[in-house]
Amino acid sequence: MLVVHSGWVPGRGLIIWAEDPALPLTSTSRARSRPHPFATPDLPAVPGAVAETVQLTLPGTGRGPLPSPETGADAATRGLKLGAWTVPALSVPGQDALAALAELTDPGPDQEWIAGSSVRYLGLLAGYACDLARRGRMLPQLVIEGGVPAARWRPVLTGGDAVTLRDFAAAMPPVVRACGEGQPLGRTLRDALDALLDSAARNVLPDRIMVGQRPGLKAALPDRWLSALTGDPALPGAADADVRDLRRALDDWMRAANEANGPIRVSFRLIEPEEGIDEWALEFALQSAEDPGLYLSAEALWAGDRFPGLPRRPDETLLAGLGRAVRLFPTLHVALLEQRPAVMSLSTGEAYDFLRQIAPLLQAAGFGVQLPAWAGRKAVGLKLTTRSKPKSKAGASRAVADSGFGLEQLVEFRLDLVIGDGAVSAEELAELARAKIPLVRVRGQWVELDDRQLKAALKAVSRRREGEITAGEILQQVVDGGEEDLPLVEVDADGDLGDLLSGQAAERLTPLPTPEGFQGALRPYQERGLSWLNFLGRLGLGGILADDMGLGKTAQTLSLLLTDQPSKTLLVCPMSLVSNWFKEAGRFAPSLRVYVHHGGTRRRGDEFDEAVAGADLVVTTYGTALRDLETLRGVTWSRVVCDEAQAIKNSGTRQAQAVRAIPARTRLALTGTPVENHLAELWSIMDFCNPGLLGPAKRFRRRFQEPIETRQDEVATAALKRATGPFVLRRLKTDKTIISDLPEKNEMKMWCSLTPEQATLYQAVVEDMMAEIESSEGIQRRGNVLAAMMKLKQVCNHPAHLLKDGSRLPGRSGKLARLEELADEIISDGDKALIFTQYAEWGSLLQPYLAAHTDRPVLWLHGGLSKARRDELVERFQTDDEPMLFLLSLKAAGTGLNLTAANHVVHFDRWWNPAVEDQATDRAFRIGQSRNVQVRKFICTGTLEEKIDAMIERKKALASSVVGTGEEWITDLSTDQLRELFSLDPAAVR
């Protein structure tokens, strides 16, 4: 396995080289600059790369350079010094580096190389550059490259972005700047970010529409420069005086942008005209950059209206912002001739220019822009209509899997062109093309018609638009979504194919009965799920069973295995669930022969072959699948199932690549959270289930992920739902049509006061840690912020948790006092409770204390327990009739356990990720629960716990993506924001 590395040379760009650990690690040469002994010329194919030999300055000994940690080779620890080593390399110009890093950081499953730390670092920097571009944190500039002026985008780094840049500087692997004699860190980082940001900006901004009207060499420099921001950046032949004047103005703009955080920005709103009027309105306004809902039109501002947070002289802010915008929108100068500019009129042609060219530039430069809802959508699209041939309509009442439906079945199809909401004929389309009006009203709705869309539509008219093709070809057309310039916007299918494409096949299929050999009875929605799984399997398609946690994904999967016999299934799951699958198979499907392939005593060679030959279900872990990949690839599997499939949500990880590399007839992913943070996770899981169906990751990113995540594009969202809907089945516990007998889940927040001792400790920690945070930068600052949060949460739990002095527990913590009261109440009612804490050390203190206080068993499950002991505790809690408490470490017990004996859940300290807390709660709130579940979340008033809870509530819809999987998001807050977050409200003390 090769290890690929990358470096950056200011002014040149990206350098790529690789190590091959199979080559000799030592060199016999004694030259000052020697060939690197285990560098290999077998480098990945990278777009825009040129092969050359590069000198690197690397640590090593007289015998050879130090191997990177990724190679797994033993490294010397003594006698290390820097030396010059030459390597075969690829050189990639800065403008092509973004595409090259996308290739390197997202290798396919068949690649025989892994990315080194330098590649991963530059990949993260590229992602940061894309994020800056999407958020408009950039400004256009005029720079000199090789003596020639060029239009380039440059980042604007203020506030949290400046902190992030310092973090990148502190985290840069030395090999990134190892080319030649070594490069200065700051210059290397800024040059790389500038190049990546410029490429990202040009990807975000649309291509210039009227290419034929690109300004010539004799045009004014500002016009040529404006055009070059989305085209060829070079501006040869410009007069020196013109270059100086434009650079001076743009430098002033950049300087002003970097001097202020810009809490208030100037905004533009395009308003479409009434029917029959050819006059558009462009409204000016002031808008909060943090809360776009705070919006004040210029007309209202001149009338004296205000909103909170405006500067003392908002009129000056408006005029200054409009003055800066003139650089990108020269026509705006007409409005600035008025004393109190509020709105300007645009013709239809000018409105189209604003939509296609000016608005993206203004947004990229940090201005607010509001456009009509239809703006940016593909105006022309395709409608696909399919009809089953008469013979396939027979047996419509039977289950689809038994009706003879297959992907090779012929169906009749027709493709129609649609504009807006209605179909158009070839004659109407030709008339629109002849008119050459890019912005037209069609049946009362405004649409944009650019040349590329019209050409694609006219070309489609000339192709075959109706006839017969197979159902499989129809399915692929729906997934592909048409062409980029002519998307598929509507599908109308009937019969079995219609059921599949609708994404509602599970509801429309005749449910399969509970299979023979299944111990128990499937619920109606589970029978529908079984029918859907069986239907996809018969077609050779994979699927994602994304039912809510607790709805019985395990039971549905085991019933599928019983239905599809004889077959051989490989099930891959986290290590914590191996025992659960073994026991559940024995409980629900005792006739299945199960072999667990895991642990140091697992079978190998002939013994493995014999064990698999005698098994219907082989259970293994993700780690074992990676280690034993070649062994598992040698088996002919009917099906591969991934449980907790979010484990393969990152397609670049070795375990995700390993699981995808195991061949099988069909594949099934089980997960309650197919998308946790971003849509690339859905692509990764879908690519496991149906390899290649959604196309390459880069195409998915361009087609779906970026439009949906950055622009909330409704057309892209609908297209993604059409493409993935047939393969995803998602039901929720809260849906009473799915399960009506599951009891209620009542969530409440328990507000706790600090004791005087806690308050004193809390204040001391704040003062001590804020001093450290203010005096640190980069990674050290992040570490100090996380350490401060941990200490403050420990104080909120109990002084003894922070001090670690073994001191007494009673009477010193508001939280503990509230827990004592609650525990007494639960025990007296004869109930059981789960108590979650994220700190194992606190659980070890709390367990004996609660046991003594309640005089009842208090079980304690944490990551240090053996599998046997863990199973023993779960069994006792579930079967023992005695009231008791179960104390659990959140990380060790937040997923995979069935603890329905509890009807109370207590989150003693918060993880601040709603998804993680919900998963923990669902250990009790799941099928098998017969009583209402009371969920209590402990929060200390006046502390960071209350403030972060309020932040999460404000962002509930985006909580999982904003908060992520931990607390690292808080480290990006400014020092003033941290001080406010950590400060103690005097009312918090009881």
Render pLDDT for 701-712 as a digit per residue (tens, 0 to 9). Answer: 888 887 777 666
- The answer, as to whether pTM is greater than 0.85, is no
Question: ω before 566 within 30° of 0 (cis)?
Answer: yes
728-729, strands of its sheet edge to edge = 594-597, 617-621, 569-573, 637-643, 664-670, 543-545, 728-729
Residues ≥6 apart with Cβ < 8 Å to 888? 834, 835, 836, 837, 843, 860, 861, 862, 920, 923
Give the Cα separation of 592 and 210 in Å (integer). 66
> Per-residue pLDDT averaged across 493-522, rounded?
84
Q: What is the mean pLDDT of residues 835-857?
A: 92
pLDDT of residue 108: 54
- Which tops the pLDDT comparison, 939 or 479? 939
Whether 435 shows a pLDDT value over 90: the answer reads no
Distance CA 213, CA 438 (A): 15
Model pLDDT, residue 956: 44
pLDDT of residue 948: 80
Instruction: Say which range, 93-102, 139-148, 577-586, has the weakest mean pLDDT.
Output: 577-586
Check pLDDT > 70 for residue 727: yes
Residues of the chain with CATH 3.40.50.10810: 505-729
pLDDT of residue 804: 86
Q: What percent of the chain has pLDDT over 90?
A: 33
pLDDT in the model for residue 73: 66
What pLDDT, on the 0 to 100 scale, is given for residue 214? 65
Mean pLDDT value across residues 458-474: 78
Which range (106-120, 202-216, 408-422) has the least confidence?
A: 202-216
CATH number of 745-988: 3.40.50.300
Tell me: the pLDDT tens digits for 546-589? 987 667 899 999 999 999 988 999 999 987 678 779 888 998 99
Does residue 123 surpass a pLDDT of 80? yes
Burial label, 240 (beta-carbon count in 10 A; 0-12, 13-18, 19+): exposed
Residues carrying CATH 3.40.50.300, the chain: 745-988
User: pLDDT digit string (tens) for 14-26?
Assistant: 999 998 887 887 7
pLDDT for 394: 39
The topology under which CATH files domain 505-729 is Rossmann fold (3.40.50)
The torsion angle over the Cα atoms of residues 961, 966, 969 and 975, rounded to 10 degrees, is 160
Confidence of residue 393 (pLDDT cuts 50, 70, 90): very low
What pLDDT band is residue 212 in, cutting at 50, 70 and 90? very low
Q: How confident is the model at residue 961 (pLDDT cuts 50, 70, 90)?
A: very low
**Average per-residue pLDDT for the chain:** 83
Give yes or no for residue 601 having a pLDDT over 90: no
| In the block, residue with structure tokens 């729906």 | 478
Phi and psi at residue 264, to the nearest 5°: -120, 130
Rounded to whole angstroms, the Cα distance separating 69 from 298 reads 59
Name the amino acid, one letter, at 74: D
Give 79-94 pLDDT, tens digit per residue: 678 888 899 999 999 9
CB 440 within 8 A of CB 446: yes
Task: Check if the beta carbon of residue 940 is closer than 8 Å to that of residue 815.
Answer: yes
More confident residue, 286 or 373: 286
Question: Distance (Å, rounded) from C-alpha 978 to C-alpha 972?
Answer: 9
Tell me what pLDDT residue 962 has.
29
Tell whether the model's pLDDT for residue 311 goes beyond 80: yes
What does the block give as tokens for 951? 């932040």
- Which H/E stretch holds residue 549? none
Question: What per-residue confidence (pLDDT) applies to 403?
Answer: 47
Q: Mean pLDDT over residues 121-148, rounded?
A: 89
- Model confidence band, residue 230 (pLDDT cutoffs 50, 70, 90): confident
User: Over 50: is that where the pLDDT of 63 sits?
Assistant: yes
959 pLDDT above the threshold of 80: no
